[in-house]
Structure 1
Amino acid sequence: MPDNRFYVVDVFAREKYAGNQLAVVLGASSLTMEEMQRITRETNFSEAAFVESEGIRGDGYDVRIFDPIEELPFAGHPTLGTAFVIREHLREDRPDEIPLDLGVGRIPVRVERDEAGNERFWMRQIPPSFEETFDRSLVARVLGLDEEDVDGRYPVRFVSTGLPTVVVPLRTLEAVRRAETNLEPYYEELVEPYGNLNLLVFAPETYEGNDLNARVFADCAGVPEDPATGSSNGCLAAYLVEHDYFGADEIDVRVEQGYEMDRPSLLGLRATRTADGIEVHVGGRVIPTMEGRLV
């Protein structure tokens, strides 16, 4: 196998060894699709990313993303983590915008700095699509919850900004903690009729004074639970505006995730209703942890 550099980063983390782990492999044009899939499984992370272009092509970088089961057209934390690695290791000028060419098309990633000087990476996701709504009784069965745990003021909705997600509003943090995938109805009633999808549950109660707490389950991708999910949280951002969860056409909120996995994560969600639809941005910090080479 070729000698490729790789970097491991924690995305949506506030410190090392939190957030969502990602391996980013450079020089990936030398690898076959089968090798990329096997490397992803070897990492035992929820996803790995592969930068096929060492230099910029046109005005973007060609990137492929895999989970343990398959190649993905888009995923959130791999997009931000890959932009970080490109900026740190392929660009001496360290620009504040890195455009990535993914399966869903061009995704621009911008760098912002907070008052403390911490850099946060923000991606603009593709316009959301809103599809089926589901009965509370169905998702309660799938998640091992009581129907009353699901907040009936808002719909359970199939949303996609590149990676399909069923967004489930729950009433309490205690209900979020109890949620777990009941595999038989999950596959029979959701995956078989609608294809591979994530399940995102959220509630307005939180551990650390943020705006929302969320968990994401992706058993169909070989990831029973994900510690920080930029794609599904992009769907959540669009959902919050579409269904007036905060009573506003523009939101800027903080979502905590991963606490039940001991991988606390913090995601920033921004969404705005415009004449052309809902524009979604998801952001967070990226912290490097390891580097090496494939042999």
Structure 2
Amino acid sequence: MQRRFVQVDVFSAVPFAGNPVAVVLDAEGLTTEEMQAITRWTNLSEATFLLPPTTPEADYRVRIFTQSRELPFAGHPTLGSCHAWLDAGGRPAGDDVVQECGAGLVRLRRDGERLAFAAPPTTRSGSVSEEDLAYVCDVLCLDPSEVVDAAWTDNGPGWVTVLLASSEAVLAVRPRVALDRETDIGLAGFHPSGGEVALEIRGLFTDDQHVLREDPVTGSLNAAVAQWLIASGRAEAPWVAAQGAVLGRAGRVHVSQDADGQVWVGGASTTVVTGTIRA
């Protein structure tokens, strides 16, 4: 069966500078095993599969896969899937697009030329134990004294984030690669004030062989980091975060907060590949 298939570059207004996601638009009838196999075949960090919603409150349902597992939520796949759904003729029932995923219902809205999603609540937050921080520092090849602060910023993937003294310190980190357990680490550091970009972000995760890899641009991490930094008084929205420089990318993540305190995370998306996939 031929199914509509696109690849969308997320968090970039031009191709090849953001983070790509593969989207299968007609995924009804595919099994979980088939979705995982397709995701592995794309060799991208994530692929998504659009399905009819199971609740009248949602406009569509999405399942999100990495190379090794299914995720309840992820940021750049959410934006890329919504971009693909709208491009394919999808029309929301209300003012916002409502996406159904493993984490529940996620609202998306247009923010000028960009799409933005409402950051979901974190499933784990708060301080990091000395034991966990020691492990993270060992992975990052950092001395604990170099860490300004650390917190759980888990909204699905499992992030724990360390705040370093500067954006330069974030970009200078060279982590270990071969690990002995599943690990998802965020890095954050502020740029000098007054520039276009306020924050430098890096997202590191392990594959199914426990090899540490770097994600080009990570919406879920930026969302949870924003919630942490705003709640702790370390930052005030709006701001723009940069991510992907170490990989030769130029991702830009736009963070804002509305009058109700809801954090929104957005960015530009660009369709790069359009076609069909036999599945």
Give the TM interval when normalised to the shorter protein.
0.7 to 0.9
1:163 to 157, 160, 167: 157
Q: Which residue of 1 aligns with 2:145?
A: 148
| 1:238 and 2:200 correspond | no
Describe the superposition over 1:22-65 as per-residue Cα deviations: whole angstroms up to 9, x where unpaired: 11101101211111111111111110010012x89624201100
Q: Partner of 2:128 in structure 1?
A: 133
2:255 aligned counterpart, secondary structure: strand
Distance 1:148 1:131 in 2: 19
Q: Which AA in structure 2 matches 1:293? A: T
Structure 1 residues not aligned, in runs of 5+:
114-118
Question: Does residue 294 in structure 1 map to residue 277 in structure 2?
Answer: yes
Aligned counterpart, 1:282: 265
- The amino acid that maps onto 2:223 is G
Cα-to-partner distance string for 1:60-109 (whole Å, 9 max, x where unaligned): 20110000001110000010111111111032689863211000111111
2:67 touches 2:207 (CA, 8 Å); kept in 1?
Answer: no
What TM-score, normalized to structure 2?
Answer: 0.87
- The answer to whether the 8 A contact 1:241-1:272 is kept is no
Asked if the contact 1:163/1:197 (under 8 Å) is kept, the reply is: no
Instruction: Identify the residue that residue 58 of structure 1 maps to in structure 2.
Output: 56
Gap change, CA 1:92 and 1:201, over 3 Å in 2 = closer
Identify if the C-alpha distance between structure 1 residues 272 and 147 changes in structure 2 by more than 3 Å, giving closer, same or farther. farther
Q: Say if 2:223 is the partner of 1:211.
A: no
Q: Which amino acid aligns with 2:237?
A: I
> Paired residue for 2:9?
10
Q: Please tell me whether the aligned partners of residues 48 and 81 of structure 2 are also in contact (alpha carbons under 8 angstroms).
A: yes
Distance 2:110 2:264 in 1: 12
Q: Which residue of 1 aligns with 2:26?
A: 27
Q: Is the 8 A contact 2:167 2:200 kept in 1?
A: yes
Q: Residues 84-123 of structure 1 correspond to what in structure 2 (within 5 A)?
A: 84-91=83-90, 97-113=96-112, 119-123=113-117
Q: What residue identity is the alignment partner of 2:203?
A: V
Q: CA deviation at 1:159?
A: 1.8
Alignment partner of 1:257 is 2:254: no
TM-score (norm 1): 0.83
Q: Report the Cα offset of residue 18 of structure 1.
A: 1.1
What letter is aligned with 2:108? V
Q: Give the Cα–Cα distance (whole angstroms) in 2 for the partners of residues 88 and 40 of structure 1.
A: 21
| Pairs within 5 Å for 1:153-232 | 155-183=149-177, 187=180, 191=181, 196-205=182-191, 209-220=196-207, 224-232=213-221
Once residues 90 and 9 of structure 1 are traced to their aligned partners in structure 2, the CA distance between those partners, rounded to angstroms, is 16
Aligned residues between the structures: 270
Structure 2 CA distance, aligned partners of 1:285 and 1:67? 22
Q: What is the one-letter code of the residue matched to 2:233?
A: D
| Matched letter for residue 205 of structure 1 | H
Tell me, yes or no, if the aligned pair for 2:204 and 2:214 is still in contact at 8 Å: yes
| Between structures 1 and 2, the one with greater helix share | 1
State the alpha-carbon separation in 2 of the partners of residues 180 and 273 from structure 1.
39
Worse-matched range after superposition: 35-44 or 214-223 = 214-223
- Tell me which amino acid in the other structure corresponds to 2:191: E
For the aligned residues, what is the CA RMSD? 2.5
Separation of aligned partners in 1, 2:127 and 2:38: 35
